[in-house]
Structure 1
Amino acid sequence: MTLSPDRLERYARHIVLPEVGGSGQAALARAHVVLVGCGGIGSPSLQYLAAAGIGRLTLVDDDVIDLSNLQRQTIYTPSDIGKPKAETAADWVRRFDLGLEVRAVVGRAGVENVAQTLSGATLVLDGCDNFATRLLVSDACVKLGIPLTSAAIGRFQGQVANFAGHLADQPCYRCFVGDAFDADDCDTCAADGVLGAMAGMIGTFAAMHAIRVLLAGHAALGDPQFGTLHMFNGLAPSMRPLRIAKDPGCKGCGTAAEGD
């Protein structure tokens, strides 16, 4: 893939990095990232995925913008209140860079549409707000052979990890959380609160972690760190890595999934 002169200028600061270079920037331009959730994590993630030149973006969200979102969901403004997040986020991308292809999916990823929604993705970044969707997306990524970047936040805590459960030696997200969260039951920012800057920190780190996967094999950015959970404590502040073991009996990627 040859980058045009204006794209070369736009991404000059990437291209001069030996860890990225022209081949790495071309890989980003070829990539298709599906972003599940355009809220507190998805908003800053999207800003830096688009700024990195990810060539194709699919944005999935069933929610509308609320006044309370503006404290952390930085791509929206008061004039956007009441509008669908996915469509408004897609409009932001179009204003930011006409050279990117973007599609909005106004709806929730469900059993009936998840495979079609994720099909053809180079990577999925999941920043949604419930375990049922997270597990559904993870299982679909395993079946479709798509790497997954998962990011979550609550109060002053954040978690980011890359998963490749479709690989024989790598865990999936379900290996991490198990089967107890298949129902719609989890804490929410509305109930527990969240510092806006923490959402930005986790969202941008998730974008960086996604880019790490997208550049693997194309540039020297480093190990995609599949199966390593990065745990952030915003109060300390500190970050601690935790290695997740692959569960041989996992319903998503282990022997229990083989008959599906």
Structure 2
Amino acid sequence: MRSEVAGLPGNPERPNEDWAAAVLPASGAGGALVLLDGVTPPAGEVGCVHAVPWFTARLGGALTELSASRPDLTLSEILSLAIRRTAGLHADTCDLSHVRTPQATVVLARWDASSVDHLVLSDSVLLLRAPDGPVRAVRDDRLDRIPREALRSHAAADRLRNREGGFFTAAADPSVAERAVTGTTPRAGVAALAALTDGASRWVERFGAGDWTECAELLAREGASALLRRVRALETADAAAGGGRRGKVHDDATCVYVEL
């Protein structure tokens, strides 16, 4: 097996709020990957004394440990338990019911000799490349289905966050795990996996530098760090040309790539 984890902060003066890990047991029979994209809150009250990196590190650590040690649990059950554990670490000091309590998007994948399980919650993406080349992108597209005007401000987005008809992220409510996109693929049908935060998936989704198959080919050929460098180059060129595209110039960007 081959694995690579790469990340870049959107602002070098601030920590990367993403969190990622690849678990490859020495036996080589199985493994797991975890990717979180921490949601940056606007300035103002968030109901929590902890910064987003505190949250993603603890939720990510719990997800990594459980993915590797609890094959008896489904990925949805693992996410639910990890959220419950993390919430318990700051329930006595923070208002976990606050709409801006720390939260993150989630990608999980776990494999053994027979199958590959996956889970995606919110707008990060998981790529599954078949041995003969085709690539399937597993996405939770609920955020895409919301009209842009409905997300015109933080307050507007808050009204749709973790609510029916809106979109869901991992925060303090374990039941959100039931909202995730999940599935299983035969192990023989997966040659490689890649998990990308939306800062990394910009190569496809914002700049159209290639499709998902070409993205997977780039990862196989040059690795996760090369993809992130290309994203930064595109962002910089776009900003120099007038920055006509929506959103911030640079975002935290993280990628986990695993060849089985």
Is TM (by shorter chain) over 0.5? no
> By percentage of residues, which structure has more strand?
2
* More RCO (CA 8 Å, sep 6+): 2
For the aligned pair, the TM-score class normalised by the smaller chain equals under 0.3
Q: Which has the higher helix share?
A: 1
Structure 1 length-normalised TM: 0.27
